[in-house]
């Protein structure tokens, strides 16, 4: 199992973990925008994760995970030297990078991770790259330094005002527009409702926009249909047709409902796992 050995594991922010994983064939073939499906153990759930970066010389891929559900909480317990049992990819369509002119990259929360390789590729294609990173709070902000290294201009905001400007990414985009800044293309990645309202604003401001979607996935090959989304009235499969689509055509409300379909089951699974973990090591008769 040495192929999927974890070489590095770092805590980037509260409950947000970075892994450098041995997967040489994926590292060589990967392009910006593509993802992998990972299992951490024999009975683990299949989790789609964007490849945030690669080290082709060492045969490593970079993954960033937020410990939120049962499977990602289990993954957060892994350390350097441990292994993933499965890493399958690269999957999905690579981002269609063009020299648009001036691109605005808008990230909400963990969306900064999948957006990072895209802005790198956009910059290499000759674009002026502007960025907005938003998070709920300062303790959830990630990858700011790496964005600053790439972006010609970067703005930071938090919902609670603990870092950067207080407000939403849409507030920052509106401010930039009101200041007279012109954008030729937008790329949006983040929570579904954040993408919905950012897409609505870009449409109003007449900025073409792509959104990178991360719906529920199972097989990652288009066979199961779990990742279906509606775009301009047509059914698409995010794992093979995406993960990026015209943001102005995505039915975000339908996507949000579908992504919440197993929320109750996930909550129960987390509670059961936490109860089991809390009892590990207790001696008989302990309170």
282 domain-assigned: no
Look at residues 91, 114, 144 and tell me which one is the last residue of a structural domain. 91
pLDDT at site 46: 84
276 domain-assigned: no
117 domain-assigned: yes
- The reply to whether 87 and 173 lie within a common domain is no
Given a cut of 70, is residue 287 above it in pLDDT? no
Of 229-238, 250-259, 271-280, which gets the smallest average pLDDT?
A: 271-280
271 domain-assigned: no
Q: What is the pTM of this model?
A: 0.85
- The reply to whether 76 and 7 lie within a common domain is yes
- The reply to whether 250 and 172 lie within a common domain is yes
The residue-averaged pLDDT of 125-151 equals 96
- The reply to whether 29 and 156 lie within a common domain is no
pLDDT at site 285: 42
The residue behind tokens 């920052």 is 172
Number of domains in the chain: 2
- The reply to whether 178 and 229 lie within a common domain is yes
Q: Is 118 left (phi over 0), alpha (psi -120 to 50) or beta?
A: alpha
Residues 6+ apart with CB under 8 A from 234: none
- The reply to whether 137 and 224 lie within a common domain is yes
Residue 119: band (very low, low, confident or very high) from pLDDT cuts 50, 70, 90: very high
SS3 169: helix
List the domain range (segments joined by +) for residue 66: 2-91
Strongest mean pLDDT among 175-179, 225-229, 267-271: 175-179
- The reply to whether 182 and 149 lie within a common domain is yes
Residue 271: band (very low, low, confident or very high) from pLDDT cuts 50, 70, 90: low
Query: From residue 150, how far is each of 106, 117, 182, 210 by CA, in Å?
Result: 14, 10, 19, 19
* Angle at 185 (CA atoms; ends 260, 105), nearest 5 degrees: 55
- The reply to whether 81 and 200 lie within a common domain is no
14 domain-assigned: yes
Which helix (DSSP H) or strand (DSSP E) does residue 8 occupy? Answer: strand 6-13
- The reply to whether 201 and 142 lie within a common domain is yes
Look at residues 71, 91, 111 and tell me which one is the last residue of a structural domain. 91
Look up residue 287 and give its DSSP letter.
-
- The reply to whether 150 and 69 lie within a common domain is no
- The reply to whether 133 and 175 lie within a common domain is yes
Given a cut of 90, is residue 42 above it in pLDDT? no
272 domain-assigned: no
283 domain-assigned: no
Share of the chain above pLDDT 90, in %: 61
SS3 213: coil
CA 217, CA 206: separation in Å to the nearest integer?
Answer: 32
Of 61-70, 121-130, 150-159, 255-264, which gets the smallest average pLDDT?
A: 255-264
Q: What CATH number does residue 242 fall under?
A: 3.40.50.80
- The reply to whether 106 and 85 lie within a common domain is no
pLDDT at site 222: 67
pLDDT at site 256: 87
Given a cut of 60, is residue 185 above it in pLDDT? yes
pLDDT at site 69: 77
Residue 73: band (very low, low, confident or very high) from pLDDT cuts 50, 70, 90: confident
Which helix (DSSP H) or strand (DSSP E) does residue 174 occupy? Answer: helix 169-178
226 domain-assigned: yes
pLDDT at site 136: 94
Residue count of the chain: 287
Given a cut of 80, is residue 128 above it in pLDDT? yes
Q: What CATH number does residue 40 fall under?
A: 2.40.30.10
Look at residues 69, 91, 113 and tell me which one is the last residue of a structural domain. 91
Q: Report the chain's C-alpha Rg in angstroms.
A: 19
Higher pLDDT residue, 48 or 218?
48
């Amino acid at each position: 199992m040495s192929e999927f050995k974890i070489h590095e594991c770092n805590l980037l922010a509260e409950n947000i973990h970075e892994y450098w994983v041995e997967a040489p064939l994926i590292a060589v073939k990967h392009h910006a925008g593509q993802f992998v499906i990972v299992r951490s153990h024999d009975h683990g759930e299949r989790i789609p994760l964007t490849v945030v970066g690669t080290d082709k010389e060492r045969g490593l891929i970079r993954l960033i995970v937020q410990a939120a559900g049962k499977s990602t909480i289990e993954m957060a317990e892994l350390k350097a030297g441990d292994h993933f049992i499965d890493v399958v990819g690269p999957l999905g369509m690579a981002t269609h990078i063009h020299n648009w002119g001036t691109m605005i990259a808008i990230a909400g929360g963990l969306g900064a991770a999948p957006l990072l390789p895209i802005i790198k590729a956009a910059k290499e294609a000759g674009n002026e790259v502007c960025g907005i990173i938003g998070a709920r709070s300062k303790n959830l902000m990630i990858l700011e330094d790496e964005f600053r290294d790439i972006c010609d201009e970067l703005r930071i905001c938090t919902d609670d005002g603990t870092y950067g400007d207080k407000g939403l990414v849409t507030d920052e985009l509106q401010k930039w527009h009101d200041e007279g800044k012109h954008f030729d293309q937008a790329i949006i990645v983040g929570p579904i409702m954040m993408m919905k309202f950012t897409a609505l604003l870009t449409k109003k401001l007449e900025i073409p926009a792509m959104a990178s979607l991360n719906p529920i996935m199972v097989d990652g090959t288009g066979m199961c249909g779990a990742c279906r989304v509606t775009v301009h009235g047509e059914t698409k499969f995010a794992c093979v047709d995406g993960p990026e689509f015209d943001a102005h055509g995505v039915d975000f409300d339908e996507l949000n409902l579908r992504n919440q379909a197993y929320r109750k089951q996930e909550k129960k699974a987390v509670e059961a796992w936490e109860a089991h973990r809390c009892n590990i090591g207790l001696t008989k008769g302990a309170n």
